[in-house]
Each structure stands twice: as structure tokens, then as C-alpha cells.
Structure 1
Amino acid sequence: MDFSVIQYSKFMTLLDMLLHNLRTLHMSLEDSIKWLGEVMAEIGPPHSQKNEEWSFFNIKQANAIIDYLKISLFQHYKLYEFLFYSTREEIVIGTEQMIEVVKPSGGLLPDPLEEGISFDIYSTFIEPPPTLDAEVKRLDQEQVPEEFQSEANISDADPLVGFTIEDIKSVLGQVTDDILIGIQTEINEKLQIQEEAFSARIEKLKKA
């Protein structure tokens, strides 16, 4: 119908109000038709010069709106009443699933793959107890001769034992000096290259 923006707004408001009257106010078909007639008289074509500025639809547009409501809402009014008023049974479709928890190792079922279970289940039911590892280590230490144990204890000692703070400072100073000298040399080379480049540019500018 080539409605304007205001006409679209009024038309959508009209549809919303008709559904509101049906859904909330439980208005009958006869009352809805009467209500539509009163509203269309206000927003329809003017009957006098006084309310001409408040009109939004001409006669053709008003008849088209009424025809549309007649074949859509009013023709299926009982269907809309059933949709808004009647309670329908909710069908819930579900499936029961049995979940079998992993049993401790040594049962009738074989151990599952480690990649297919979570770490919590694996550490609780499948992983060997930590007490066994501690017991094996203790037995191994008892079987090792005392000479090897003493050598192991010596190897585990702090390697800085026997050095004073002054010795450590002197070693760190030498290492730091070597590193700083290398960095300083590299910086000086880069500065020299940049200085030569700037000097060449200055000479070009002087010649220009």
C-alpha cells in the first residue's frame, strides 16, 4: 500500500492492540469489531476540516486494512482464542542413561585406557599407591653399599662450599666486564656507522 512511516507505525500499533484485547482483555469477536470501528473512525479519513490534520489513512487504505483484518484475525478468531486460552499438554521426551563408574584395579573388568578417562579417576582407582614407590626406594637404599651412598651424598653437596664472598664477587666482576666490553664495542661500531651516514648527507646538502 506504500504506507508512510507514520502509517506503518499506526498499522502495527493497531495489530498489537487487537491481539492485546484478545489475549489480555478476553474481548469477544463482536467487541473487537466494534473497537476497530471506533479506532478507524479516529485515524481514518476526515469527515470535516476540523480533524483533517489528525487523519492518517484515506478511504482506500482504510478499506484495505479492514479487508486484511477480516481475512486474517477475524476469520480465524476462534483459533486465536484457542491459542491464547487453552492449556496444552507438554510432551517431554527423555532418555535414561546408566553410567558405570570405574572400579578399582584388580576387579572383574579390565583397566580402561588412560586417554579415555579423567585424571581424577585414574589417580584414585588405577594409579598404584605412592607408598609402594617409597618402599621400593627405601629397599634400594638399604641394598646400596655405604661407599656409594657416601659418594652420592658428596655429589649432592653444595658446589659453592669452600668459596668466600670475595671470590664470587671477583668472578662475577670479570664476567660482567667481559660482557659490557662486548656490548660497548658493538654500540661504538653502530654509532660510527651512523656518524658516517650523517656526514655523507651533510656533504650532499652542502653541495646542493
Structure 2
Amino acid sequence: MDFSIIQYSKFMTLLDMLLHNLRTLHMSLEDSLKWLGEVMAEIGPSQLQKNEKWNVFDIKQAKAIIDYLKISLFQHYKLYEFLFYSTREEIVIGTEQTIEVVKPSGCLFPNPLEEGISFDIYSTFIEPPATLDTEMKGSDHEQGPEESQPETSTSDTDPLAGFTIEDVKSVLGQVTDDILIGIQNEINEKLQIQEEAFNARIEKLKKA
């Protein structure tokens, strides 16, 4: 509306007084309308022009102010009343969490992923029984104890008997070095790609 400084001051004072009447004095909608009419009669256009220094708004500006108050404060007056001095209950919001456990194997329920559990639990409770191994063991028992003795003797031999601790450490060190070198090279390549991308962005920002 291209208000002057005095008009802005009067307009903001008018808004503050309307909210004060509502929040502090609990003024009803009818009383607020009457109060606005009395105030606008003082600071708005007057036919008698007795107090010209207080008539800071012309007819167009006064109508625009009343229209603004109509669609903002007076249209939602009940909402402002509820906002300022209506008691509200404190709502405590809670969340209920449900944890679903694995059902027995007889139910139609998918088994958990092998990657999410340890090998001991998987081999003990989830891994299907090895039917071939049990059949071979049963046939071995039927043949007698004489034939099973050489098998037990061969199974007792340690496959790492011919190696020392230093040999095992050296082999493990070579394997880990090979793996770490490959991972380190891959990380360096990714870091180099990211560094080039950041440098390109910085150059674009410098040019901008």
C-alpha cells in the first residue's frame, strides 16, 4: 500500500492492540469489531476534518486495512482464542515396537541369512543333516572294528606336523600382505578419483 512511516506505525500499533485485547482482555469478536470501528473513526478518514493530524489513512487505505483484518484475524477468531487462552492437554506420544523371533523349523518361516549368524549356531541348529555321512558311518560300523582301525589311525595324524610356527606365520604374512596391498591400491584409486572431482568443483567455483 506504500504506507509512510507514520502509517506503518499506526498500522502495527493497531495489530498489536487487537491481539492484546484478545490475549489479555479476552475480548469477544463483537467487542473487537466495535473497538476497531471506534479506532478507525479516529485515525481513518473523517468528513468533519476536526483532527487532521490523526487522519493518517484515506478511504482506500482504511478499506484495505479492514479487508485484511477480516480475512486474517476476524475470520479465524476462534482459532486465536484457542491459541491464546484455552487449556490444552499434554499428549504423551509413545511407540510400540514388536520384535519378531524365528519360529521353529516346522512352520512356514524363512530361515535367517547365513551372514547374520555365527557358523557354530548355523551348523548346530540350521544346517540340514548330512545324510551321506551318517550312511557311511553306519556302513563302517557294520564292517567291524578291524577295518575301522586304520581309518582312526590315519585320522589321528596332524596335517601340520611337518611345519613349524615360523612357517605358518610367514605364509599367513604373505597372504595378508597380498590382500592388504590390493585393498590399499583400490582405496588409493578411489581417493584419487574423489580428489579429482573435488578439484574440478573448486575450479568451477573459482570461475563462478
TM-score (normalised: structure 2): 0.43
Structure number with bigger Rg: 1
TM-score (normalised: structure 1): 0.43
